Every structure is written in C-alpha cells, then in structure tokens.
Amino acid sequence: MALYAAYASNLDPAQMALRAPHSPIRGTGWLTGWRLTFGGQDERGEGALATVVEDPKDRTAHVFVVLYDVPSFDEQELDAWEGAALGVYRKIRVRVDTLDGDVLCWLYVLDDYEGGLPSARYLGVLADAAEKAGAPADYVKELRERPCSSVG
C-alpha cells in the first residue's frame, strides 16, 4: 500500500473511486511551500493542465490535498489514468502537512512546461472537487476566481 496525495480532480472522492476503487481516503493535508499552477495542453481542448510546483520563495504558498491509501493493483490503474507511462505526469515523493504530523506521499506532477490557462469548465471541475473533499471555503473561492481561457 502506498500513500498518494491528490490535488486536482482526484480530490473528489467519487472521481477517485472510479479511477482507484480500492483506495480509501486516509485524510487531508497541505503541500506547504508549493503552489497550484497549470501547464502543457490538454488533448481534449481543456486548455492547460493542473500541476503543482515547489515555490521556495514563498513558504506561505500551499495546496490542499486529499491522501489516499493506494494498493499496488490500483496504483497501476492510477498511473495509466494519469498518463505516467506516456510521460504526461510523473510521480515524485513529497512531504504533506497533516493534523497528525508530516507524511511522505506520492504525487503526480505534470512533466511539461509551466504556463497557460485552464478552461473555465476544467477550473470548475477542480473547484467542485476541492469543495467535495472539504477544502476550506476561501481555498475553493480562490480556485473559482482564477483566470481561465475561453477554450473548452
């Protein structure tokens, strides 16, 4: 069993249950010193894709995450869904701050350039997922108010 941190559409427990049905939620936390950003280009016309980047200049930056216990058979499905085998996203180890202390988790990050805007629809999906996962209202509001493209 491996611990994974989700920050985009996988924040939504129903969405994650479709992608990794045997992976229960373990809790929530924050990536401190990281920021949510967008980059690359979605092949389906949804604009730039969500990712996170470390921001050493801003230690107050933070990204809300949901932690999942992912067994190896779900891990393979999740890797496929995230495009890890295709090089779209890659897995890295990160430290997540939780109410019970720091934990090491796997996290998918975009293996592409940073820059670009997500579509309004995609940004809405991310904000809805964060809300369903119990993210603080100000965090969800900030997601909903982010700039977006007219694509999608």
User: Burial of 145 by CB count in 10 Å (0-12 exposed, 13-18 middle, 19+ buried)?
Assistant: exposed
* Confidence category of residue 99, pLDDT binned at 50, 70, 90: very high
Q: Which CATH class is domain 2-144?
A: alpha beta
Q: Where are the domains of the chain?
A: 2-144
Percentage of the chain modeled with pLDDT above 70:
95
Would you say residue 26 has pLDDT above 80? yes
pLDDT one-digit tens code per residue, 35-59 = 999 998 766 666 899 999 999 888 7
pLDDT of residue 22: 95
Q: Could you tell me the pTM of the whole model?
A: 0.91
Taking residue 62's Cβ as centre, other Cβ atoms within 10 Å add up to: 18
The candidate with the shortest Cα–Cα distance to 49, out of 36, 38, 62, 37, is 38
Would you say residue 133 has pLDDT above 70? yes
pLDDT (average), residues 96-105: 96
Eight-state DSSP code of residue 115: -
The phi and psi torsions of 72 (rounded to 5 degrees) equal -55, -40
Question: Which strand (E) or helix (H) includes residue 141?
Answer: helix 137-144
pLDDT (average), residues 52-75: 92
The candidate with the shortest Cα–Cα distance to 54, out of 70, 35, 26, 40, is 35
Longest CA span, the chain:
41
